[in-house]
Amino acid sequence: MELNELKNVWKQQSSNHNLDYSQSELMMLINNQMISLEKEIKSRDRIEFIACLFLIVCFGIILFTTNSVWKQVGSVTIVLSGIFIWYKLKYTQHRSFDKKPSPDRPMREYLKLEAESVEKQKKLLQNIAWWYIAPICLGLFFFALGLDSGFTKKLLYMIVVIVTGGLVWWMNQRAVKQKFDPLLKEIKEAIKFLEED
Partner 1 sequence: MDFTEKEFTEIIKDNEGRLKHLSRTYADRIDEEDDIYQEIIVQIWRSLPSYNGKAHIDTWVYRLAINTAISFARKKKTRRNYYSQLKKEKESQKGRDHKYSDSNEDKRVITLYDAISELNASEKAIITMYLEDFTYEEIAFVTDITENYVGVKLHRIKNKLSNIIKEENGA
Q: Binding partner 1 by CB under 8 A: which of 85, 111, 128, 140? A: 111
Nearest to 70 by CA among 138, 150, 143, 154: 143
Closest to partner 1 by CB, 37 vs 57, is 37
| Packing angle, helices 107-126 and 151-175, rounded to 10 | 170
Q: Which stretch, 85-93, 122-130, 137-145, 181-189, contacts partner 1 (CB under 8 A)?
A: 181-189
State the minimum distance, in angstroms, from the CB of residue 8 to partner 1.
9
Instruction: Report how far residue 120's alpha carbon sits from residue 106's, in angstroms, rounded to the nearest whole number.
Output: 21
Give 163's Cβ-side CA count (13 Å radius).
Answer: 6
Helix (H, G, I), strand (E, B), or coil: what is residue 127? Answer: coil
List the x/- string, 69-108, binding to partner 1 by CB under 8 A: -------------------------------x-xxxxxxx
Collect all residues with Cβ–Cβ distance below 8 Å to 24 and sequence separation of at least 6: none
Contacts with partner 1, residue ranges (CB under 8 A): 1, 3, 5-7, 9-10, 12-16, 18-23, 26-27, 29-30, 33-34, 100, 102-111, 114, 117-118, 175, 178-179, 182-183, 186-187, 189-191, 193-194
